[in-house]
Structure 1
């Protein structure tokens, strides 16, 4: 929670004092709201920690779950790539070709993916099947990392191979999301499996950890910069047309940096904080109920397949501030803006409180009871919180939303009280 609170506070700090002069509407209301939601997250987490953990009472053995998930992930390597690239079908030859293109020209790969996704009319039968098995697909990484010391060598080799191919396919598509998500999940799972690392932390350990984070962060930033330059034709844009503002190269956060990476650093700061600008706009709009599904692209799409296009999506806050120039589709909106479309901004702190509570309970069940469904649910909650400034990352999309609710049910269903 210290890490999460620090990260969220850092994004607000970058928004307020960073190199982008956002024309914030009523900043006092915005910052008061952000303070309230972070306190709600902290209180929810603190209350969740007080509850006693419960033992795993499920019939599913961990080794069996790992085997099933690993087997399905092997089968789904090509379907995963097809769905991410917006193609109806792919082969190993086309995958390899796309990987080569993604490494040599990530910008073109990204544009090809966007164009293919735009031309895709309907979800295929395999796409629907993927949504059904997504909870099982999700299990592989959390369980393999957590139980790494006890799984067979053959399982380790297959897991590393599947993850490596999966990360390469993300690079092949000219996007960084999958690589970043994996880098984010890994440390929380390692610490959940080995909490003694925190208890035995020393000054040397902190220095080594900081160096490792700096190295990994540097590699991710290099990939991020390369992808941005490829998308923009060789130069990162220093102007945000939606807000009508330009990057301030004299800002103290980027001025000391080499000129070659200032624009990329500015773009990264925009990515992590730009969602607060439309939040300030939305806070001044009246509440319109979006039928309980307006917070999620996925669930909005399902309901609108029966009610007609735009019948619900036009009711959301991101849609209703588009007249101010900020797109609901191509720009970031905080999770708070999406959730408020159903709960109102008064209800958002209660939602954030619940997420903090769930995070604490799954963290404790992972540490004490090794409940496999708590272990798998934990990184989803961590990802959700880390994407708070950007979007409703977990509940907004089919695979992670289905995995979240299925694992939440299985975790609650397989818990029993520990006898004192």
Structure 2
């Protein structure tokens, strides 16, 4: 069990890489050899960092008598539950503001038939020069509390009061209505699914085999439902601009096309098959092609802020370092190859390499892997809530490795990730209590 998350990440990365080679989306001038070598080195660094944790003894606090009761009351109920309750209030306030803002702007945004148009509308607003609405600003600043609700509330659900359980479900309902319908975005659905699966997996550590099998069955059902919903939303988006698998190459940059003879289209048909193929190839594995292009470009330093689009934008608007994004690999890919780094996935590595070089983008995963290993150890040994929070965020970041630097790209994720790291650094050792019966 102590290496299971690492094994899952290894299988996932290798699997998505193979999809980029043999999936329905085909790429022109794809340097597969360079990408295979680079991803092999990435996994090597990640594994070294994670496994190095086994050589280090984690500092723990002294055992407590009647440990189960004391730990529950002293730490879970008094601190963690209080944090969860506060986070539910803040998260509900934030999402309510967004809901009201959506209704005021356009009540028709809550129509399921407008998912594609809604997605285009919110992208135009975020890219506009008129600034953000109050609701979006509050959303950006409350990302930490939103993740606390999505991760820790399900884990400690039985310890929550009835009123807070009800507020939690109301929050999820508003979250789905605003993000899934009004904004037409799928990322939040993926985040919720990933967090829920992680929490279920941790819960399984204390369950019988019968209950574990039940959770695994429910997880499989959820994943199938997610694929169907995600594929439907993708089709809705492309319907708005008249794109199909057949004419995709005409609307793209000309470097990729869909093989309509692929087995995906034979099994699921042209329309649903296009949605599933988009999820598999464009979202889960399309970034590896972008990586192959970025590896061909020379290094230009971006002063430590090029790894995050929002950080580079803020520095530009404050006139601290102007046109910083233009120096990144993502922007220079557009100039050299016609591939827009902001509209396509290119893996996390060109983002990190803009500051660290491609070699540094590999080596940074040794300490990241070590922290990942520490959080998992503290979960296995102590069910540490601070480590559950950071572990879930890091796992989400690894899921998005084939896509982009997800944890630091937007304002809300940037602030949330930094806050979670700080929270973990100052709190995780406080929860490392060894019960006497272990």
What TM-score does the superposition give when structure 2 sets the normalisation length? 0.84
The answer to whether structure 1 residue 403 and structure 2 residue 416 are counterparts is: yes
Query: Is contact 1:69–1:136 with CA below 8 Å preserved after alignment?
Result: yes
Q: CA separation in 2, counterparts of 1:128 and 1:71?
A: 17
Of 368, 371, 396, 2:381 maps to 368
Secondary structure (helix, strand or coil) at the match of 1:43 reads helix
Unpaired segments ≥5 residues, structure 2: 1-5, 62-70
Match of 2:117 in 1: 108
1:141-169 CA distances to partner (integer Å, 9 max, x unpaired)?
Answer: 21111111211122111101101210121
Match of 1:27 in 2: 32
Query: Is contact 2:204–2:212 with CA below 8 Å preserved after alignment?
Result: no
Q: CA separation in 1, counterparts of 2:360 and 2:268?
A: 41
Match of 2:10 in 1: 5
Secondary structure (helix, strand or coil) at the match of 2:312 reads helix
Query: Is contact 1:146–1:193 with CA below 8 Å preserved after alignment?
Result: yes
Query: Is contact 2:375–2:390 with CA below 8 Å preserved after alignment?
Result: yes
Query: Is contact 1:147–1:193 with CA below 8 Å preserved after alignment?
Result: no
Q: Bigger CA drift: 300-309 or 311-320?
A: 300-309
Of 395, 404, 409, 1:391 maps to 404
Query: Is contact 1:249–1:262 with CA below 8 Å preserved after alignment?
Result: no
The answer to whether structure 1 residue 16 and structure 2 residue 34 are counterparts is: no
Q: CA separation in 1, counterparts of 2:242 and 2:75?
A: 53
The answer to whether structure 1 residue 232 and structure 2 residue 225 are counterparts is: no
The answer to whether structure 1 residue 66 and structure 2 residue 76 are counterparts is: no
Q: CA shift at 1:256, angstroms?
A: 4.0
Match of 1:181 in 2: 191
Of 122, 125, 128, 1:119 maps to 128
Match of 2:171 in 1: 162
Q: In the superposition, relative to structure 1, how do residues 96 and 361 fare at CA in structure 2: closer, same or farther (>3 Å)? A: farther
Match of 1:136 in 2: 145
Match of 1:287 in 2: 299
Query: Is contact 2:235–2:272 with CA below 8 Å preserved after alignment?
Result: no
Q: Bigger CA drift: 352-361 or 173-182?
A: 352-361
1:350-394 CA distances to partner (integer Å, 9 max, x unpaired)?
Answer: 222232222222223234334333222222111111111111111
Query: Is contact 1:176–1:223 with CA below 8 Å preserved after alignment?
Result: no
Q: CA shift at 1:208, angstroms?
A: 2.5
Q: In the superposition, relative to structure 1, how do residues 107 and 346 fare at CA in structure 2: closer, same or farther (>3 Å)? A: same
Match of 2:392 in 1: 379
Query: Is contact 1:294–1:316 with CA below 8 Å preserved after alignment?
Result: yes
Q: CA separation in 2, counterparts of 1:170 and 1:126?
A: 13
Secondary structure (helix, strand or coil) at the match of 1:61 reads helix
Q: CA shift at 1:225, angstroms?
A: 3.8
Match of 1:307 in 2: 319
Match of 2:67 in 1: none
Question: Across the two proteins, how many residue pairs are aligned to each other?
Answer: 410
More helix by share: 2
Of 254, 272, 278, 1:261 maps to 272
Q: CA separation in 2, counterparts of 1:152 and 1:108?
A: 39
Alignment of 1:40-59 (within 5 A): 40-48=45-53, 51-53=56-58, 54=60
Of 82, 93, 102, 1:75 maps to 93
Secondary structure (helix, strand or coil) at the match of 1:273 reads coil
1:311-332 CA distances to partner (integer Å, 9 max, x unpaired)?
Answer: 2111111111112110122111
Query: Is contact 1:338–1:392 with CA below 8 Å preserved after alignment?
Result: yes
Q: CA separation in 1, counterparts of 2:213 and 2:388?
A: 29
Q: In the superposition, relative to structure 1, how do residues 7 and 220 fare at CA in structure 2: closer, same or farther (>3 Å)? A: farther
Q: CA separation in 2, counterparts of 1:211 and 1:398?
A: 32
Q: CA separation in 1, counterparts of 2:230 and 2:142?
A: 33
Q: CA separation in 2, counterparts of 1:99 and 1:124?
A: 18
Secondary structure (helix, strand or coil) at the match of 1:394 reads helix
The answer to whether structure 1 residue 325 and structure 2 residue 361 are counterparts is: no
Match of 2:259 in 1: 248
